[in-house]
């Protein structure tokens, strides 16, 4: 099992990351557990909208029935919230982990 954590994940068109939600939906499910965190006032620029990109990724993970947690909070693109919930994220990612 692989464990992935994203704080303000960049699922926008910088280097093609905007296609990841579609890839998740179309590919066979893989052994991963994903934690996502984003803020409602995150970046919105020529590359895309970070809150929307994270919402689309969460929806794709749910569609493919991945084990994931998505924390969506009020606020901007800052590490303060991500840092505050990092212990929670790490505990959740490795909870009930049979690969240990």
Average pLDDT over residues 26-38: 97
Total domain count, the chain: 1
Which tens digit of pLDDT belongs to each residue from 41-92? 999 999 999 999 999 999 999 999 999 999 998 877 666 788 889 999 999 9
DSSP 8-state code for residue 55? H
User: In the predicted model, is pLDDT for residue 13 greater than 60?
Assistant: yes
pLDDT of residue 47: 97
* Domain extent for 16: 2-93
**63 within domain boundaries:** yes
User: In degrees rounded to 5, what are phi and psi of residue 33?
Assistant: -125, 130
**98 within domain boundaries:** no
pTM score of the predicted model: 0.89
User: In degrees rounded to 5, what are phi and psi of residue 12?
Assistant: -130, 180
**100 within domain boundaries:** no
77 exposed, middle or buried (CB, 10 Å; 0-12, 13-18, 19+)?
middle
**15 within domain boundaries:** yes
Look up residue 66 and give its two tokens.
């991945």
Angle among Cα 56, 58, 63 to the nearest 5 degrees reads 90
């Amino acid at each position: 099992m692989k464990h992935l954590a994203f704080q303000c994940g960049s699922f926008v068109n910088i280097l093609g990351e905007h296609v990841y939600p579609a890839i998740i939906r179309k590919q066979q499910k893989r052994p991963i557990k994903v934690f996502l965190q984003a803020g409602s006032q995150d970046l919105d620029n020529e590359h895309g909208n970070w809150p929307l990109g994270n919402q689309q990724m969460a929806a794709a993970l749910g569609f493919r029935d991945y084990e994931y947690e998505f924390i969506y909070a009020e606020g901007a693109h800052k590490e303060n919230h991500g840092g505050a919930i990092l212990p929670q994220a790490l505990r959740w990612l490795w909870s009930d982990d049979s690969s240990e």
